Structures are given as C-alpha cells and as structure tokens.
Amino acid sequence: MRAPHPVVVVHGGAGDVPVERHAEAVEGCRRAARAGLEVLLAGGSALDAAQRAVEVLEDDPLFNAGTGACLTEAGEIELDASVMEGTGLRAGAVAALPPFRNPVRIARAVLEEGRHVMMSGPGAAAFARSMGFEPADPESMITEASRRRLETWKQGRAEAGWAGGTVGAVACDASGRLAAATSTGGRVGKRPGRVGDSPVPGAGTFADDEAGACSCTGDGEAILRVGLARLAVDLLRVGLHADEAARAAIATLGRRVGGTGGLVLLDRRGRFAACWNTRTMSHAVARAGQPVVGDIVAPLQDV
Ligand code: ASP
C-alpha cells in the first residue's frame, strides 16, 4: 500500500446558507482545515488535528458549535461534541453540555480519561470542571444571530428547527492513523436534554484505521437511526471508493428514513470525499504542499 497522505477535511454543516454568506462559511472551513494541517505538519496526531480544526470552528461565531451555537426552546445553549481515533477505537463525547467554550476539548478529555465514552448534562459539566475547564458565561457564547434564529423558529418560519452550521473534521496523519471530531449546538428550539447524532460514535462521528473516518451533519434524528458515520466507513471497508461510499451512505439516509444531511469521509490512504443532499455544505480540505481548497455547493472529490 502507498504511504498515506496527511490530510484534514472539515465541514461547516449541511443546510441552506444564503448565497451572500457562502464566501464567509467557506473561508471559516479553510481556516480550520489549515489549522488542522499545521498540527499534522508539526508532528501531531490525526486526533490532535481533527480536534484543532473543530476548535477553530467552535470559536467562529458563524457556525452552530461552541460560540454561536443555536438555542433550545428555553433559549439556552446545550452542546454536543465527540472525538474518535481509529487505532484503538477510543472515543470521547459530551452531550447536552451547558456553556463551555470548546466542548470538543472536553470530549477529548473524556477519551483520554478512558473511564467512560459519553458524559451528559450536569454530570458532563462536573466532569469538565474536575478536569480544569471553566464554564463560560452563557451571554458570551450566545450571538444575535442565534437569538434571531430562535425567534424565527418560534414564529414558525424556520423549517423543522434546522440550524445548519454544525462542524466536523476528519484527519489522516503520515503514519496512517485516522480520527474524526464533530461539534454542534444541535437544532434550533430543541427540547432541553435532546441529544442528536453528533456526540454518538457510529452516528455523527466514526474512525477506524482499518477502514476510514467520517463526520456527519444534518437531521440528527435520521442520522442516529441509520448510524450514518459507521455506515459510510463500512462501505469503504467492503471496497467502495471514498466518493462512492459517501454518496451511497447519503442515499441511504434519504431513502430509508427520509433524512437530509451530509458528511466528510476519508479512507485509510487519505483519499477523501464530501457529499450532502441539502442545498449547501461548506467544507474544505488541507494537504501538505497544496493550496487549501474549499467549497459550499460543488462536492469535493478525491483527485
Ligand atoms: N446533526 C446535528 C444535530 O442533529 C445538527 C446539524 O448537523 O445541523 O444535532
């Protein structure tokens, strides 16, 4: 087998970003992919790189993760995030986490501690504090745009509470290790305590060095029911090319449960694909020695 290519692929959420925001959304993804690649070039692992890319997007108020996350029907932030590495199949996740600036770092701490895979709600917050993370002032993470989105949803003008702007990353390092990370505020107007696909290994996030890595976005209830990230990686396992596997997985999401969403997918040689059945999904890819490319409407395909 040829040596794997170090690569980071990120997405900034499936949805329907208005045309005037396309450039901004793609630029955010490019910045994140570049930051992830810098970690790989400095000798960091695929897991470090995927986590770093997601942190950058969590800090960007444009995206529905960390700062700028969408609000529950009670007007509060509840965050879901996960990380998974493909060598030991270790995973860490937080669900319905109250405001902390970078939930993906807390998910990583869950993985590193290794006692549990997923922590939720007040227990996740207590865990985070015990690991030295400071809770954030909720007001500092709630944006005007997320308040407006909740208002629009309450007036029945937003389709099914869709927020868009979930973020995720997959990475492959020079040793062929794979990792995935995903972070979101979930759906606008969700019930307090609702948990989507993003923190669930196999649903929103999956990585296995023997096959591939995937981060998903979209209708979380539908993605949970088909186990979308695991499905896409298993299609690589049986020999599909990354692009075919990504398309087949998204087709299954639509056909079996009427779901809409998207994903980024990497195989174990670092070949990648992005696919979605919503109007837009911002995404970007960073590879050593090549310009960082990004788009929001045309699927990225391996070259
Ligand atoms: N999948 C996320 C959720 O359902 C939302 C999204 O990707 O837009 O929580």
Task: Please report which confidence band the pLDDT of residue 3 belongs to, taking 50, 70 and 90 as the band edges.
Answer: low
* Predicted confidence (pLDDT) per residue in 254-300, tens digit: 999 999 999 999 999 999 999 999 999 999 999 999 999 999 988 77
Catalytic site includes residue 217: no
For the chain, the residue count is 303
Find the Cα–Cα–Cα–Cα dihedral 145, 149, 150, 154, rounded to 10°.
150
Q: Rounded to whole angstroms, how far apart are CA atoms 186 and 182?
A: 11
The H-assigned helical ranges of 42-167 are 46-59, 103-113, 121-130, 138-141, 144-154
217 lines ligand 1 (CB under 6 A): yes
Q: Rounded to whole angstroms, how far apart are CA atoms 247 and 226?
A: 14
* Predicted confidence (pLDDT) per residue in 54-67, tens digit: 999 999 999 999 99
Average pLDDT over residues 23-40: 97
Average pLDDT over residues 100-125: 98
Average pLDDT over residues 3-20: 91
Per 3-state DSSP, what percentage of the chain is helix, strand, and coil (rounded to 5)?
35, 25, 40
Residue 121: closest CA among 49, 193, 216: 193
**Which of 149, 182, 198, 279 has the most ligand 1 atoms within 8 A of CB, as the residue to mutate?**
198
164 lines ligand 1 (CB under 6 A): yes
Single-letter residue type at 129: R
Tell how far the Cα of 136 is from the centroid of ligand 1, in angstroms. Answer: 22
Specify the CATH superfamily of domain 7-295: (Glycosyl)asparaginase (3.60.20.30)
202 lines ligand 1 (CB under 6 A): no
- Active-site residue, from 72, 166, 184, 205: 166
pLDDT of residue 303: 44
* Predicted confidence (pLDDT) per residue in 127-174, tens digit: 999 999 999 999 999 999 999 999 999 998 766 556 689 999 999 999
Q: What is the pTM of this model?
A: 0.97
166 lines ligand 1 (CB under 6 A): yes
Domain ranges of the chain: 7-295
In the numeric block, which tokens belong to residue 84? Answer: 């998974």
